[in-house]
Amino acid sequence: MVGMTFAHLLRRRGVEPVVLERMPAGFYIPRGYMLGFQGYESLEEIGIYEEVRDAGRPIAPRPDQPPVAVAVRFGALIEALMRDLPIVNDTTVSDLLRDDSGRVVGVVAEGPGGSATYEADLVVACDGMNSPTRQMAGLEAEYDQLPEASLGFISPSVADTSFSMAYMSDGGHIGMLSWHQGSAGWRSIDRVGAEAALAPGLDAIKEMWVRLLPASESAVEGLTSLDQVRYSELSLLRCPRWWVPGVVIIGDSAHFFGPETGISSGIGLGDAHALAQAIAQYPDDPDVACATYETWRGPVVRPYEAADPGRQRILIAGQVQPLPHERWPPAE
């Protein structure tokens, strides 16, 4: 979503980017999704903010002001971004082109017709948390494993409220998000592995969710299979530098925040806006554009990284015992 947003914003500034995407046209993985206010400005400029907002449910609505966030079908945003945007699909970036000085001047990509080279004034890596381009460019990445794991569900039934979240006695959290077509939930648990986390069974998982977060009752009703429940172990990501000559990283390739914050994509959409504007100001000097981008964006992004509750939790899961009725999996 960050790459497509960036491409739209660049085109509005008279720059025509080549967008390379390894997945087939129209592909995305459905998920529970909350668009935070940090992303509104970028979508407004592209002309899809109202469409996405109206397709979703407001979170913390305020009179005469936009909601703090919108719970929306993930596809509503992705499909709006795909509209009217040329994308070279089924094409995977596999290497960087460099000149004699070592500066990156383009990429090599593998597509249906074989290997091809794409020369570029600037390679903008929007290729996700494990960014192959970041690695090829030699940009350092610091991963911080969260002390807890996450148990999540995705359900086709709709809850009475768009959002609910509660904290537990060990500093862990449990939450639920509901859009017009479905709901998703998450909670922190000990890092016990998927097998142990799912072992109590679907009925026990549903009972626990409703007991600890009553607002999730109608969302949980739609759970009929353990396939709708997922255990995951997440890490946070931050990168000390965001660019080297010829390559810049934005969105999840540059930073990933904890699931508690719900801000990851909104910050990425803001990155896209700032970088497009920096390029418009310095169209003939990508290095100055990148330096300007880093100067503007550091004061916005770095405090979120430093204050992420995954790093700053006062009570750390594993060091403090949860109350027995909050523990998952439950004690024998």
Ligand X SMILES: Cc1cc2nc3c(=O)[nH]c(=O)nc-3n(C[C@H](O)[C@H](O)[C@H](O)COP(=O)(O)OP(=O)(O)OC[C@H]3O[C@@H](n4cnc5c(N)ncnc54)[C@H](O)[C@@H]3O)c2cc1C
Which residues here bind ligand X, judged by CB under 6 A?
Answer: 1-3, 20-23, 31-34, 36, 92-93, 126-128, 132, 251-252, 262-266, 268
Nearest to 172 by CA among 149, 152, 195: 149
Nearest-approach distance from CB 14 to ligand X, in angstroms: 23
Nearest-approach distance from CB 130 to ligand X, in angstroms: 8
Q: Compare residues 33 and 49 and give the one whose CB is closer to ligand X.
A: 33
Q: What CA–CA distance (Å, rounded) separates 107 from 134?
A: 12
Q: Compare residues 176 and 322 and give the one whose CB is closer to ligand X.
A: 176
Nearest-approach distance from CB 106 to ligand X, in angstroms: 14
Q: Compare residues 109 and 322 and give the one whose CB is closer to ligand X.
A: 109
Q: Compare residues 33 and 242 and give the one whose CB is closer to ligand X.
A: 33
Q: Compare residues 153 and 322 and give the one whose CB is closer to ligand X.
A: 153
Nearest-approach distance from CB 100 to ligand X, in angstroms: 25
117 beta partners = 108
Edge to edge, what strands does the sheet with 243-244 contain? 123-125, 247-249, 243-244
Nearest-approach distance from CB 85 to ligand X, in angstroms: 13
Q: Compare residues 98 and 230 and give the one whose CB is closer to ligand X.
A: 230
Nearest-approach distance from CB 294 to ligand X, in angstroms: 17
The 3-class SS string of the chain reads CHHHHHHHHHHHCCCCCCCECCCCCCCCCCCCCEEEHHHHHHHHHHCCHHHHHHHCEEECCECCECCCEEECCHHHHHHHHHCCCCCECCCEEEEEEECCCCCEEEEEEEECCEEEEEECCCEEECCCCCCHHHHHHCCCCEEEECCCEEEEEEECCCCCCCEEEEECCCCCEEEEEEECCEEEEEEEECCCCHHHHHCCCHHHHHHHHHHHCHHHHHHHCCCCCHHHEEEECCEEEECCCCEECCEEECHHHCEECCCCCCCHHHHHHHHHHHHHHHHHHCCCCHHHHHHHHHHHHHHHHHHHHHCCHHHHCCCCECCECCCHHHCCCCCC
- Position with the least CB separation from ligand X: 251
Q: Compare residues 123 and 126 and give the one whose CB is closer to ligand X.
A: 126
Nearest-approach distance from CB 212 to ligand X, in angstroms: 20
Nearest-approach distance from CB 320 to ligand X, in angstroms: 26
Q: Compare residues 257 and 328 and give the one whose CB is closer to ligand X.
A: 257
